Amino acid sequence: MRCSLVKGLFSQQNCQEIILSITSLAEALHLTVLAEYVETEEQRETLHQIGCDCYQGYLYSPAVPVGAAAAEPPKR
């Protein structure tokens, strides 16, 4: 899912409606939905309620160089 949709999740009603449409279609087609640019727990929880399956973004890890991503998982 595109950055602009996730960033507009709480400020623009049409973003939630578009995300809901995407997740409904994905469910009907037995596809997994990945939301990018998830930065807060509130975003993750709302996306989960709407039907997103997977998340990536700063909430889980800051950006890492390409070579470092495969070398070692981020420490928590």
To 10 degrees, what angle do helices 41-50 and 13-28 make? Answer: 50
CA distance 30 to 61: 28
pTM of the model: 0.77
Domain extents in the chain:
3-71
Which of 48, 50, 54, 14 minimizes the C-alpha distance to 36? 54
Q: What is the pLDDT of residues 35-62, one digit of tens each?
A: 999 999 999 999 999 999 999 999 998 8
65-76: pLDDT as tens digits: 887 766 665 555
Task: Read off the tokens for 73.
Answer: 């998982």
